[in-house]
Structure 1
Amino acid sequence: MTYIGASEWGRQPLLPLPPAVKVPQRRRLFWWALRYAIVFIIIFIALLIPIIVFSKDADVDDDTTIDDVYANQYRNLVFYICLWLEITWIFAVFFDIIGLTLPYLFRFIARYVNSAHQRYWRVFKFMRRPICFLGTTIIAYVFFEAAIVGNPLLFVNVDKDPNSDVMAWDDIIDDILAQVTLWMAFYFIEKLAITYIAVHYHYRRTSTTLDRTKEVQRALISLYEASIYLHPVNGGTFAEEDVIIRNAKGDMNASTRVRVSSYLSRLGLDGYKFVSLFGNFISDDPKAHWLRPGSSYATIERALANPTSAAALARRIWLSLVSRGKYGLTANDIVEVLGPDRAAEAKAIFKTLDVEDSGEISLENLVGMVTEAGQKKHNVFRTIADMDHCINTLDWLMLLLIAAVMIFFIMLLYVPTIKEIQTTLSSLAIGLSFAIGRTLNHLLTGIIFVFFDHPFDSGDVVRICDPKMTAGIVCTVKRQSLLYTVFRRLDNNSDLQVPNDELFRKSIENYTRSEINKQRITLFIDFRTTFKDIDKLQSMLNAFVINNSGDYVPGTLGISVASLHELNKMELRIVFTHRNNWSDEKLRAMRSNKFYCNLVSTCRQIPLFKPGGMLPAAGENGNPLYTTQLNTSEVNENIQKEKLRRQGLRWDNEKKEEIGAQSENASEDEAAKKEAAAKKAEQEAFQKVSKSAPKKEVAVSTGVDVARGITGLRLAATQFEEV
């Protein structure tokens, strides 16, 4: 096959393709503002021209005829209508700009007034249209009432018959504007209700994340205050980090605001300190946030907003608190810095930050933790402004309901035929309510289930079962609607669609919203198993959990005897806690399989036997079944050999140079001592097994492998003495 132009392939352009052209954000914002201004100016000038043309036609001479008066009134009417449209257009743009700038204005004011409320600024972006529509309709109605209907200089209906029942056009427009203003008020209230539902809708999903980030933020506030006590802000040691932390954009020198604030600081005019004077006047509580933009809380809040500033904050805290020559932040470091009076607080702070119970926190782990906490916290409030499918559906239903009611009342007022068939329409509405009652019931149940019960969100891993049953289906929420929900089953990867009114009567366990999940394993062993073996099993499993603290929570493993089952077998219940919840099915299965494999290995090492497995089977040496005749000494010898063989497999077997039967010449006293020692060991094992789990040991986690090359800068107490 011959291709046309194949001889020119050698002159093709070099690869790869040139990078895609990206328009800077400032340039896009500039062109958007330019288009916005051009549209406003064009319409403004178009309405201004007739206003200027008809502005001098209001004067009436004494000798003016009635026809000239009508002509002048017509021109005055055009003037006031254009003036009304001009004022309405100006205020429409004004309220639209208010709706655009209100979120950013709120964020700016909250930064100086109370940084705790700064994160709600994205919610106001949803209110741009309601603010613009409501403000514009109010201004249009009020100015039309003042400039046209109630204007003493304008006789709109001078030739109207006063005895006529027909409404004039200005009265009709005035009444329609009043109805539309009322409609916009309901529209504004509806949007407020939708915003509240959205906040409540997303809070149920993000409450656990918010609680965790608040704990991390409180810990960072205390550590940051200790850091600036050791190394004051702009003191030289962490000058670069302080500039990045103070700058909301996480930049060193690209922000004009930073350069201006630095210039004002050199003049002794710091805006944060100036506003903080009012905050100190309002309250002397050091933990108060109002009018304190320079407080530790406000600083941490700004730093978490950007990954770069969050990393700088973590670096400053870690380097200033870790002792010189050390590679990790420990609880002793925090206790030494905060003092013995705050030892309990220091341990609580370290427990909050040491999520893996490794005993120390490296710089890489702290940077990742602080950055992740900031991203999670601000993603929560960003998703509130992103309306989901169900919220949008409810929004449209409420808008259609408001529109239908308002249109019905307007038609009832202006269409005479509607009044005549009002009774017929009422009967028809009642009949339709019975016909579609089932659908309305499904819709109302779905609204209550989705927005108020709100048991899950899209992407959550849940288990659905009947209220009185424990077995259920584990699946992922794929898509959610007001009438039904689509799940993806984890066992066979098939889609499952269930109506919401049926889910309303189910029991739902949400793994995604759970903090950490426990797993329970049931193990049946022989009834003759000693407590020493059970205690050994618990100690070996505890050691495994501690050595794998990145996957499991140390100190949470428990073994209990659940049942005896007619004294023919013993049921052990083993409970342990995963490090995370079960929202990640792959990670859950991997950790569960890892624990099961270790349990199998442990049972083989002890060893543990199945019910009835400690007795030798028929025909074995321990339970002989022969067709030949043996004397008593041979039978006893075989039984003793089997006992010794099984004893040699045990973990507590004492190795001897010669394995054989006990010496026939052993004294009865030695045998009694051995029997007493065995009983004592069994009794101690029984006490250990029957008590609660032992205290948690802390060791370095094997779940995280980080490079160690950076040490702290703080001089410890012993280093002070050496200096």
Structure 2
Amino acid sequence: MPPGDAVVDIELVRPERKAGSDTTSSDMQNDPATIREVTDFTYLPSRWSQYQAITDPDTGVQYGSLDKPEATRWLAVVRRMVKSELYRSSLLLFLPVAVFLTLPILITATACMDVSIGDVHLVGLFVWIEVVWLILWGVWGLAYIIPYVVQFLAGFVTANSRRYGELLQAIQLPMTLFLWAILSRAITPILCSFDRERPGDCDDDWVLVLRKILIATVASTGLFFVEKILVHLLTINYREKQYSLKRQEIDQTTRCLVAMYETSVQRYPVHGPEFAGEDDKIHSLRPDGHAEGEFTSSSTAAMASKRRSRIAYNLKKRMAGKQVVKVDSAQTIVLHALEKTAASEALAIRLYRSFAAAGSEHGVSEADMTNVFGPERAEEAQDIFHALDKDENGDVSLEEMIALVTQTGRNKDSMRRSMHDIGQAIKSLDNLLLLVVLFAAGLVYGVAAFFSDVAASRITTLWGSIAAASFAISGTVQEFLGSCIFVFVKHPYDLGDLVVINNTYMTVEHISLMYSIFRQVDSGSVVHIPNQINNNAWIKNFSRSKEMLERYDFAVSAKTKFPAIEHLRAELQAFVLAPENKRNFRPEIDIELMSVGNLKELQLRVEIRYKSNFANEALRKIRRSRFMCALLAALRKHDISSPGGGGPPPVGSWENPGYSVAITDLEAIETRVKYEASEEAKRQKKLGGERPSPGPHEVKENEK
């Protein structure tokens, strides 16, 4: 060691982070206790890139700065350029062909100087070919750089600048061909500069034919360029409009689950005694007892291969500017758990029991959420609770948590499969449009009078044949256009949606460009329906609906009084407000008298509102059955009977058993007279008058 030098131990301290936060606390950065003696350096190795610099509050000096030297930055840029696709393609394809094309130029310019094609020297043709090749790769390099430039400039105008860069990257090949065709036609004067008789002005037939070919190429590549732009605009706009709301809802729920899982792990470590069984399901233990990420002697090679693939995938995402999530992070674990129903249920149980108060029977409340997150994250706790409390009951039960987590997993899976099916439909549309472009390019090359006047003279006959063929395929074209409008414009359903078409309950299984596949709820059979037929049908989509309601119409006896109907309303109101039912039903309930029919019955309508839609068929049946039982019990409780009833049960029924006794004729006559007098008195009372009861002499007269 040279004299005068000293060894200094450098201790790198990672500042503590708040739970759920991605930024280091400023108080921790400026805490003098965290300042350690360091040497004068300005660059830390990349392995310490996650640590932040520490500032001395007294002197204002910053230690451990992560700012790299300027030479290092340029070196990183050069390395990225060397590893880029543009550099590799130029080195492997462009330079060898360019060098090879210079050989004919040298030969024709020296040994074969007098060789010509018509009036144009042969060297002029090879020079033009060399320039065309240079233009091709120059335009390709320009098309490779343009997306990044446009994305950078668009960032000053809009926050959604990435979509423009992605669009230009997707149409890189069509844009390259179109610009190359234009510039190739523009440099044809190079051929004329090698004319032996009139340099700069050549009228050879082959030069004219070449110019016509280049003009046709410009038109064809232009059609190809426009077709690709339309297809990719359709893809981007369609995904933004159709899946933006669903993606935002899923992302919001996922962020809430990730934050809750991070806090839960801090309180109860993974594979601890509190949640050992749930953690095994969340981390998907294998049959051999080794969890994911553990290495065994038999799987070392496979895991090493998987590790290399993961490193390459992460490198690719970093170069694309996307976020790379660690394998053992909370976000990765939650996303992995959402892929399986058992893991989703285990995750919901762990989160619920981590936040529920001890001995609580009402679920997780907002106060419980705030207590677990801490006062410094009270606002975040409130946002998470309101995002989870879909029915706005003030608490989240275990059943609600399980249903929320599992439904989020199903929504992610259905959206992924739906985007895949729509991608396949767009790919089919792209292939059909490419066929149209190819046909149009054939017309441009063969019919547009680029090569011969004979073809131009017969253009009328050809267009007549095309018109006749269009009438023959008009039905197919109409079905194709109708299907495109139905899938990409209307799009009334997605994969996994519960829909009603022609009074038939079905679940969407597959969406194609020309047809859709459904599965009937009642029988489980698979149904194929052309999109052209669904284009003219009434479609009810339960999965896209919000809170839904049901109406029940039934008839009751005409003798039913209005107070009885009000008592029925109060009884049903108490049912929906009960603790076991308030999570499923809205407090609003309505009973309406629709009509009096033929004066023998009253038509009633009961309207019940749910706190969700009917997408979950099993849950809908349970709720409906529970309400129907409560409705029947309330009707019997308040003596509301069916039409024609209202009196005592018929004699001989189990409610009013009948029996007979023997009496004398005089007792029978007296009983009949009393009954008739009672009925007459009731009738007179309704008419406003009363008839006195019959005296003894009237009874004797009646007996005679």
Q: Same fold (TM over 0.5)?
A: yes
Match of 2:488 among 451, 462, 476: 451
Alpha-carbon contact 1:54-1:76 (below 8 Å) kept: no
| Bigger mean CA offset, 326-335 vs 557-566 | 326-335
* Matching of residues 660-671 of structure 1 within 5 Å: none
Secondary structure at the aligned position of 2:592 is classed as strand
> Aligned partners of 1:629 and 1:435: how far apart in 2?
95
> Aligned partners of 1:417 and 1:633: how far apart in 2?
121
| Bigger mean CA offset, 512-521 vs 359-368 | 359-368
> Aligned partners of 2:545 and 2:553: how far apart in 1?
23
CA deviation digits over 1:606-630, x for unaligned, max 9? Answer: 5643323332344359798969558
> Aligned partners of 2:93 and 2:670: how far apart in 1?
117
> In the superposition, relative to structure 1, how do residues 552 and 393 fare at CA in structure 2: closer, same or farther (>3 Å)?
same
> In the superposition, relative to structure 1, how do residues 202 and 604 fare at CA in structure 2: closer, same or farther (>3 Å)?
farther
Displacement of 1:491: 2.9
* Alignment-derived partner of residue 677 in structure 1: none
Query: Which amino acid letter does the alignment assign opposite residue 172 of structure 2?
Result: I
* Alignment-derived partner of residue 50 in structure 1: 100
> In the superposition, relative to structure 1, how do residues 600 and 564 fare at CA in structure 2: closer, same or farther (>3 Å)?
same
CA deviation digits over 1:210-232, x for unaligned, max 9? Answer: 67569989x98xxx9xxxxxxxx
> In the superposition, relative to structure 1, how do residues 173 and 574 fare at CA in structure 2: closer, same or farther (>3 Å)?
farther
| Bigger mean CA offset, 203-212 vs 430-439 | 203-212
Displacement of 1:138: 0.9
* Alignment-derived partner of residue 578 in structure 1: 610
| Bigger mean CA offset, 479-488 vs 565-574 | 479-488
Displacement of 1:408: 0.5
* Alignment-derived partner of residue 598 in structure 2: 566
* Alignment-derived partner of residue 92 in structure 1: 140
Secondary structure at the aligned position of 2:627 is classed as helix
Query: Which amino acid letter does the alignment assign opposite residue 134 of structure 1?
Result: M
Match of 1:427 among 461, 464, 479: 464
Alpha-carbon contact 1:310-1:370 (below 8 Å) kept: no
Residue 81 in structure 1 maps to residue 119 in structure 2:
no
Identical residues among aligned pairs (%): 22
Secondary structure at the aligned position of 1:475 is classed as strand
Displacement of 1:499: 4.5
Q: Which has the higher contact order (CA 8 A, sep 6+)?
A: 1
* Alignment-derived partner of residue 181 in structure 1: 218
> Aligned partners of 1:154 and 1:163: how far apart in 2?
7
* Alignment-derived partner of residue 651 in structure 1: none
> In the superposition, relative to structure 1, how do residues 350 and 411 fare at CA in structure 2: closer, same or farther (>3 Å)?
same
Displacement of 1:167: 3.0
Displacement of 1:189: 2.8
Q: Let me know the Cα RMSD of the aligned residues.
A: 6.4
Query: Which amino acid letter does the alignment assign opposite residue 358 of structure 1?
Result: N
CA deviation digits over 1:520-571, x for unaligned, max 9? Answer: 2233333334555544544444444343457623313333333332332333
> In the superposition, relative to structure 1, how do residues 164 and 55 fare at CA in structure 2: closer, same or farther (>3 Å)?
closer
CA deviation digits over 1:32-61, x for unaligned, max 9? Answer: x79997665332342133256467679779
> Aligned partners of 2:585 and 2:131: how far apart in 1?
73
* Alignment-derived partner of residue 150 in structure 1: 189
Query: Which amino acid letter does the alignment assign opposite residue 48 of structure 1?
Result: A
* Alignment-derived partner of residue 231 in structure 2: 194
* Alignment-derived partner of residue 438 in structure 2: 403
* Alignment-derived partner of residue 15 in structure 1: none
> Aligned partners of 2:192 and 2:463: how far apart in 1?
46
Query: Which amino acid letter does the alignment assign opposite residue 506 of structure 2?
Result: C
* Alignment-derived partner of residue 594 in structure 1: 626
* Alignment-derived partner of residue 117 in structure 1: 160
| Bigger mean CA offset, 326-335 vs 448-457 | 326-335
Alpha-carbon contact 1:304-1:370 (below 8 Å) kept: no
Residue 556 in structure 1 maps to residue 588 in structure 2:
yes
* Alignment-derived partner of residue 558 in structure 2: 527
> Aligned partners of 1:212 and 1:409: how far apart in 2?
49
* Alignment-derived partner of residue 205 in structure 2: 167
CA deviation digits over 1:303-334, x for unaligned, max 9? Answer: 999776999xx99xx99xx9999987756799
Structure 2: where are the runs of 5+ without partners?
Answer: 1-79, 260-265, 268-309, 312-328, 338-346, 372-379, 676-704
> In the superposition, relative to structure 1, how do residues 516 and 71 fare at CA in structure 2: closer, same or farther (>3 Å)?
same
Query: Which amino acid letter does the alignment assign opposite residue 96 of structure 2?
Result: A
Alpha-carbon contact 1:307-1:375 (below 8 Å) kept: no
Secondary structure at the aligned position of 2:216 is classed as helix
> Aligned partners of 2:197 and 2:582: how far apart in 1?
90
Displacement of 1:457: 3.6
> Aligned partners of 1:497 and 1:37: how far apart in 2?
50
Secondary structure at the aligned position of 2:506 is classed as strand
Displacement of 1:180: 2.9
Alpha-carbon contact 1:205-1:457 (below 8 Å) kept: no
* Alignment-derived partner of residue 16 in structure 2: none
* Alignment-derived partner of residue 512 in structure 1: 543
TM-score (norm 2): 0.56
| Bigger mean CA offset, 404-413 vs 425-434 | 425-434
Residue 490 in structure 1 maps to residue 527 in structure 2:
no
Query: Which amino acid letter does the alignment assign opposite residue 611 of structure 2?
Result: R
Displacement of 1:411: 0.7
> In the superposition, relative to structure 1, how do residues 634 and 306 fare at CA in structure 2: closer, same or farther (>3 Å)?
farther
Secondary structure at the aligned position of 2:443 is classed as helix
Secondary structure at the aligned position of 2:555 is classed as strand
Query: Which amino acid letter does the alignment assign opposite residue 145 of structure 1?
Result: A
CA deviation digits over 1:469-525, x for unaligned, max 9? Answer: xxx222233444555544433333334444544434332222222123222223333
Displacement of 1:159: 8.3
Alpha-carbon contact 1:617-1:623 (below 8 Å) kept: no
> In the superposition, relative to structure 1, how do residues 595 and 204 fare at CA in structure 2: closer, same or farther (>3 Å)?
farther
> Aligned partners of 1:192 and 1:137: how far apart in 2?
12
> Aligned partners of 1:379 and 1:476: how far apart in 2?
12
> Aligned partners of 2:591 and 2:236: how far apart in 1?
43
* Alignment-derived partner of residue 176 in structure 2: 135
Query: Which amino acid letter does the alignment assign opposite residue 394 of structure 1?
Result: L
> Aligned partners of 1:309 and 1:113: how far apart in 2?
34
* Alignment-derived partner of residue 394 in structure 1: 429
Secondary structure at the aligned position of 1:356 is classed as coil
Alpha-carbon contact 2:593-2:603 (below 8 Å) kept: yes
Match of 2:395 among 357, 360, 383: 360
> In the superposition, relative to structure 1, how do residues 506 and 59 fare at CA in structure 2: closer, same or farther (>3 Å)?
closer
> Aligned partners of 1:535 and 1:162: how far apart in 2?
101
Secondary structure at the aligned position of 2:522 is classed as coil
Alpha-carbon contact 1:484-1:498 (below 8 Å) kept: yes
> In the superposition, relative to structure 1, how do residues 144 and 386 fare at CA in structure 2: closer, same or farther (>3 Å)?
farther
Match of 1:475 among 487, 500, 506: 506
Alpha-carbon contact 1:516-1:577 (below 8 Å) kept: yes
